[in-house]
């Protein structure tokens, strides 16, 4: 009998399954572990997660969690998250009402032959060059997750040395209030 | 006033009105044990940290006040993880204080270091790793606030040794704002619109059932429940966590639902058209197979914790509230169902056809465990507190003891922690010294935590322990008999090893034994005449006795298996 393939999870990248939670938390040690632990033990899937201090107030941080709403009902995820004492507020932003942005940084090897076509792709995507040397270019793109996906795909033609994405942050579109 | 962090910790506990701490000292918590000598707080020195935790739980469940346990770092802390998990599952207000290695040593794998806040993150309502001595009063005040409000639960405070030793300026929070809990809002305003929809559902109902859970006891709603039930004439079932919330002697009480529930309670839920859940959480031991659970019923779900709504069963109306306030609101709105005469006639026929029964006692023994429980109950003073471990004896105690008031039934429900009974009884007796406390235990459970009887004797805590000694891990044996073709795997314990009478005597207790019905009556009389030291009775019971009724794990409640003597007739 051949051994089974290792289990790689069931994360589905289709955006319809995703829901964005913008979570205001107390800026205390271990808060991220509490959130991650809760998701792990309740079987909720995190698609991406971004954390930074919130609104010039050192007391709080904002965590943007893109959850897989098919792994569990959103109501359960929000309800359990809200029970964490360090969680101050949760805004639930439906995908269609969300303004989402993500930052992508990539270092790409280039030579004289392909540099022009690389510059074309960068210009078309409205990415920016942040570092250059004789053999490589580091580019930055702040765009929608789809924009980052497309740019990443376009870069596949080149030898990427390294590529990082931040995971997305989001705010509700103007006139679309997030539900608390 | 400058005092040490250790003094501040004890002083903070005094501020909270703590009268008793259950604990055991060690290196990292040593500084805190020094000011304890000068405190009015009584400390009960346990023999194992698990005992401290379960005693504190028993104390909390008997008194309604939070229980407090204190242990050292490392193994002291890990030994109390089981009670913390138990309190988390049963929403018991519990404060656990753990010593921690000095701040500078945290993260270095120091002697007796462990990440107890990390370990208990998923089984506490919240926990604190104290970062400065000045913060100790806030941590204690916040811990009590968290443990006792909203859905109660365990809160752990981890105190590094150097902070206990360092100086601080004494202060104590006086307002909730000073607790620094900006994300904690345990109570919400009652949703009037939801109440109105509930009233509407009730008015259409012809077959309602009040499904009463542990939240009813936690919110001290027994009086409101009695008033509501009597006014509406609705039948009442009380879950394992709610026994005592409604008098067992009341004619509207059908008893316990679930895997080993009363036939009438289980069947009334199954046939109901409206289930009013009061602080219950649709546990799998109650629902059986979920798609067939009360399939024709609408659901009104009352809970303080909104994460319980739609977790297991979709609610037609969800009311986020403590049970007492919700019942008062429903009463104020004169919520009333249809005429229930037909419904009651049906229920009475189930009660008549399938009462709780057991095989005829044999005068010469072995004893029927149910008979032993009934005999103890018959001679017990009103208000006697009963604790239990987990297994067959627990189910029989819940079935055959008649509970009349809140706080008289103390057991491990959600977690199912074997060994809970003896230490919980000790804690309950400390909290309610005016009450008789019986622990109905199994021989397997007793062996897990019996060492705490040394604590009971040393501290002058005269509990009574009835071991229903069937020489087996009885509930596992029952499953192996019924579902594994009587292939008994690792369940035999022996009735004689250990010798429970000698063991009890070695621990300074009175040890008694009964093998037949006459001895059973004699030893119960003798136990009831002893009020100064703990008593342990080894009741030799029939190994083949099984708990009925029974719904097999994962089966539908419609397929409830009744006692063999009741089978064969029309179901």
Tokens of B291: 């798609």
* Residue the block writes with tokens 């109901």: B272
Residues B445 and B388 in one domain: yes
Domain span holding position A84: 15-93
Residues B393 and B418 in one domain: yes
Q: Please report the pLDDT score of residue B441 as a whole number.
A: 98
Q: Please report the pLDDT score of residue B350 as a whole number.
A: 98
Alpha carbon distances (Å) from B83 to B66, B77, B149: 14, 11, 20
User: Which CATH number does the domain housing residue B128 bear?
Assistant: 3.40.50.970
pLDDT-above-90 percentage for chain B: 99
Residues A21 and A82 in one domain: yes
Q: Please report the pLDDT score of residue A57 as a whole number.
A: 73
Residues B318 and A72: their CA atoms lie apart, in Å, by 19
Residue B310 has pLDDT above 90, yes or no: yes
Residues B14 and B96 in one domain: yes
Listing DSSP states for B311-331 in one string gives TSS--SEEEES-HHHHHHHHH
Q: Is residue A124 part of a domain?
A: yes
Closest alpha carbon to A101 in A40, A51, A167, A3? A167
Detail the DSSP E strand segments found in chain A: 18-26, 45-54, 57-68, 87-93, 98-109, 128-132, 136-143, 159-165, 169-172
Total beta-carbon pairs less than 8 A apart between chain A and chain B: 45
- The verdict on B37 touching A (C-beta cutoff 8 Å) is no
Average pLDDT over residues A23-45: 93
Q: Is residue A109 part of a domain?
A: yes
Q: Please report the pLDDT score of residue B402 as a whole number.
A: 97
Residues B486 and B418: their CA atoms lie apart, in Å, by 23
Residues B44 and B154 in one domain: yes
Which of B322, B353, B384 is the C-terminal boundary of a domain? B353
Search chain A and give the residue with CA nearest B126.
A85
Which of B179, B208, B239 is the C-terminal boundary of a domain? B179
Distance in Å, alpha carbon of B35 to nearest chain A alpha carbon: 30
Q: Please report the pLDDT score of residue A8 as a whole number.
A: 56
A87-93 sheet: strands from edge to edge: A45-54, A57-68, A18-26, A87-93
Residue B15 has pLDDT above 80, yes or no: yes
Tokens of A113: 């032959």
Helices (H) and strands (E) in chain B, counts: 23, 20
Q: Please report the pLDDT score of residue A12 as a whole number.
A: 47
Q: Which residues contact A40 (CB under 8 A, 6 or more apart)?
A: none
Q: Is residue A122 part of a domain?
A: yes
- The verdict on A31 touching B (C-beta cutoff 8 Å) is no
Instruction: Report the range of poorest mean pLDDT among A149-153, A172-176, B65-69, B91-95.
Output: A172-176
- The verdict on B554 touching A (C-beta cutoff 8 Å) is no
Q: Is residue A131 part of a domain?
A: yes
Q: Please report the pLDDT score of residue A179 as a whole number.
A: 59
B472 upstream amide cis, omega within 30 of 0 = no
Band of the pLDDT at A11, cuts 50, 70, 90? very low
Residues A86 and A132 in one domain: no
Tokens of B61: 């469940």
Q: Please report the pLDDT score of residue B571 as a whole number.
A: 44
Residues B165 and B207 in one domain: no
Average pLDDT over residues B14-37: 98
Q: Please report the pLDDT score of residue B289 as a whole number.
A: 96
Which of B310, B325, B353 is the C-terminal boundary of a domain? B353
Q: Is residue B373 part of a domain?
A: yes
User: Which CATH number does the domain housing residue B311 bear?
Assistant: 3.40.50.1220
* Structure confidence by residue, pLDDT tens digits, B374-394: 999 999 999 999 999 999 999
Which of A47, A68, A93 is the C-terminal boundary of a domain? A93
A79 to B118: CB separation less than 8 angstroms, yes or no: no
How many domains does chain A divide into? 2
Q: Is residue B545 part of a domain?
A: no
Band of the pLDDT at B190, cuts 50, 70, 90? very high
User: Which CATH number does the domain housing residue A144 bear?
Assistant: 3.30.70.1150
How many domains does chain B divide into? 3
Q: Is residue B549 part of a domain?
A: no
Say if residues B52 and B81 touch (Cβ distance below 8 Å): no
Q: Is residue A23 part of a domain?
A: yes
Q: Which residues contact B374 (CB under 8 A, 6 or more apart)?
A: B400
- The verdict on B311 touching A (C-beta cutoff 8 Å) is yes
Domain span holding position B236: 192-353
Active-site positions of B read 49, 111-112, 161, 475
Search chain A and give the residue with CA nearest B153.
A83
Residues B220 and B341 in one domain: yes
Question: Which residues are bridge partners to B236 per DSSP?
Answer: B210, B253
Closest alpha carbon to A72 in A35, A40, A50, A94? A40
Q: Is residue B38 part of a domain?
A: yes
* Structure confidence by residue, pLDDT tens digits, B437-493: 999 999 999 999 999 999 999 999 999 999 999 999 999 999 999 999 999 999 999
* Structure confidence by residue, pLDDT tens digits, B192-219: 999 999 999 999 999 999 999 999 999 9
Band of the pLDDT at A14, cuts 50, 70, 90? low
A85 to B117: CB separation less than 8 angstroms, yes or no: no
Average pLDDT over residues B331-346: 97
Say if residues B479 and B407 touch (Cβ distance below 8 Å): no
Band of the pLDDT at A68, cuts 50, 70, 90? confident
Residues B168 and B230 in one domain: no
Average pLDDT over residues A8-33: 77
User: Which CATH number does the domain housing residue A42 bear?
Assistant: 3.30.70.260
Average pLDDT over residues A111-134: 92
Residues B156 and B97 in one domain: yes
A30 to B121: CB separation less than 8 angstroms, yes or no: yes
**ipTM confidence score:** 0.91
Q: H or E segment at B13?
A: helix B5-15
Distance in Å, alpha carbon of A23 to nearest chain B alpha carbon: 11
Residues B452 and B419 in one domain: yes
Residue to mutate among A36, A85, A91, with most B CBs inside 10 A, is: A85
Residue to mutate among B100, B307, B311, B312, with most A CBs inside 10 A, is: B307
Q: Is residue B186 part of a domain?
A: no
B183 to A83: CB separation less than 8 angstroms, yes or no: no
Q: Is residue B490 part of a domain?
A: yes
B368 upstream amide cis, omega within 30 of 0 = no
* Structure confidence by residue, pLDDT tens digits, B234-247: 999 999 999 999 99
Residues B32 and B160 in one domain: yes
Q: Please report the pLDDT score of residue B133 as a whole number.
A: 98
Q: Please report the pLDDT score of residue A180 as a whole number.
A: 53
Say if residues B545 and B368 touch (Cβ distance below 8 Å): yes
Residues A26 and A84 in one domain: yes
Residues B295 and B345 in one domain: yes
- The verdict on A179 touching B (C-beta cutoff 8 Å) is no
Look at phi and psi of residue B68 and say left if phi exceeds 0, alpha if psi is from -120 to 50, else beta. Answer: beta
């Amino acid at each position: 009998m051949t051994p089974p393939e290792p289990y790689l999870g069931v994360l589905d990248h289709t955006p319809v399954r995703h829901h964005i939670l913008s979570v205001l938390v107390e800026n205390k040690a271990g808060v991220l572990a509490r959130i991650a632990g809760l998701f792990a033990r309740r079987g909720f899937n995190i698609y991406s997660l971004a954390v930074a201090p919130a609104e010039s107030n050192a007391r709080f941080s904002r965590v943007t969690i893109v959850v897989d709403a098919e792994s569990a009902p959103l109501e359960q995820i929000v309800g359990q998250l809200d029970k964490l004492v360090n969680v101050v507020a949760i805004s639930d932003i439906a995908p269609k009402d969300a303004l989402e942005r993500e930052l992508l940084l990539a270092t790409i090897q280039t030579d004289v032959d392909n540099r022009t076509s690389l510059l074309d792709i960068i210009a078309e995507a409205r990415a920016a060059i942040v570092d250059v040397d004789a053999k490589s270019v580091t580019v930055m793109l702040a765009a929608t997750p789809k924009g980052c996906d497309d740019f990443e795909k376009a870069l596949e033609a080149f030898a990427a040395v390294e590529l990082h994405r931040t995971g997305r942050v989001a705010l509700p579109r103007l006139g679309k209030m997030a539900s608390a | 006033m400058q005092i040490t962090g250790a003094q501040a910790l004890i002083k903070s506990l005094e501020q909270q009105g703590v009268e008793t701490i259950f604990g055991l000292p060690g290196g990292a918590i040593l500084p805190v044990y020094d000011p304890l000598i000068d405190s009015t707080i009584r400390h009960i020195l346990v023999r194992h940290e698990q005992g401290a935790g379960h005693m504190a739980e028993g104390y909390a469940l008997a008194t309604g006040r939070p229980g407090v346990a204190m242990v050292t770092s490392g193994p002291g802390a890990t030994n109390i993880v089981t009670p913390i998990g138990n309190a988390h599952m049963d929403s018991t207000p519990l404060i656990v204080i753990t010593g921690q290695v000095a701040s500078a040593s945290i993260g270095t794998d120091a002697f007796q270091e462990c990440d107890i806040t990390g370990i208990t993150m998923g089984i506490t309502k919240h926990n604190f790793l104290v970062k400065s001595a000045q913060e100790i009063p806030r941590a204690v005040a916040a811990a009590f606030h968290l443990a006792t409000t909203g859905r109660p639960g365990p809160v752990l405070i981890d105190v590094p040794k150097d902070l206990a030793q360092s100086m601080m300026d004494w202060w104590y929070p006086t307002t909730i704002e000073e607790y620094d809990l900006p994300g904690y809002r345990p109570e919400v305003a009652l949703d009037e619109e939801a109440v109105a929809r509930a009233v509407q559902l009730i008015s259409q109902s012809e077959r309602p059932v009040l499904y009463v859970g542990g939240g009813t006891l936690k919110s001290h709603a027994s009086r409101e429940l009695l008033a509501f039930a009597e006014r509406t004439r609705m039948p009442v079932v009380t879950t394992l966590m709610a026994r005592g919330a409604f008098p067992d002697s009341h004619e509207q009480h059908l008893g316990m639902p679930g895997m080993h529930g009363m036939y009438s309670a289980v069947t009334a839920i199954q046939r109901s058209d409206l289930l009013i859940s009061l602080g219950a959480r649709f546990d799998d031991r109650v629902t059986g197979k979920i798609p067939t659970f009360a399939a024709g019923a609408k659901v009104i779900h009352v809970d303080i914790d909104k994460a319980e709504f739609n977790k297991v069963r979709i609610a037609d109306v969800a009311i986020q509230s403590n049970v007492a306030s919700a019942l008062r609101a429903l009463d104020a709105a004169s919520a009333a169902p249809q005429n229930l005469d037909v419904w009651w006639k049906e229920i009475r026929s189930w009660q008549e056809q399938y009462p709780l029964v057991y095989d005829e006692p044999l005068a010469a023994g072995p004893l029927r465990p149910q008979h032993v429980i009934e005999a103890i109950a018959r001679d017990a003073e009103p208000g006697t507190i009963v604790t239990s471990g987990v297994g067959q004896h627990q189910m029989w105690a819940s079935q055959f003891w008649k509970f009349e008031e809140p706080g008289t039934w103390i057991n491990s429900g959600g977690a199912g922690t074997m060994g809970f009974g003896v230490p919980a009884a000790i804690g309950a007796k400390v909290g309610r010294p005016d009450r008789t406390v019986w622990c109905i235990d199994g021989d397997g459970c007793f062996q897990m935590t019996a060492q705490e009887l040394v604590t009971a004797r040393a501290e002058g805590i005269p509990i009574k322990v009835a071991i229903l000694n069937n020489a087996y891990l009885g509930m596992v044996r029952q499953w192996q008999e019924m579902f594994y073709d009587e292939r008994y795997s690792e369940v035999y314990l022996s009735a004689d090893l250990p010798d429970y009478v000698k063991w009890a005597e070695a621990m300074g207790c009175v040890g008694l034994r009964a093998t037949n019905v006459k001895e059973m009556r004699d030893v119960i009389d003798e136990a009831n005449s002893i009020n100064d030291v703990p008593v342990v009775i080894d009741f030799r019971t029939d190994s083949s006795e099984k708990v009925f009724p029974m719904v097999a794990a994962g089966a539908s409640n419609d397929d409830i298996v009744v006692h063999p003597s009741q089978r064969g007739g029309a179901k």
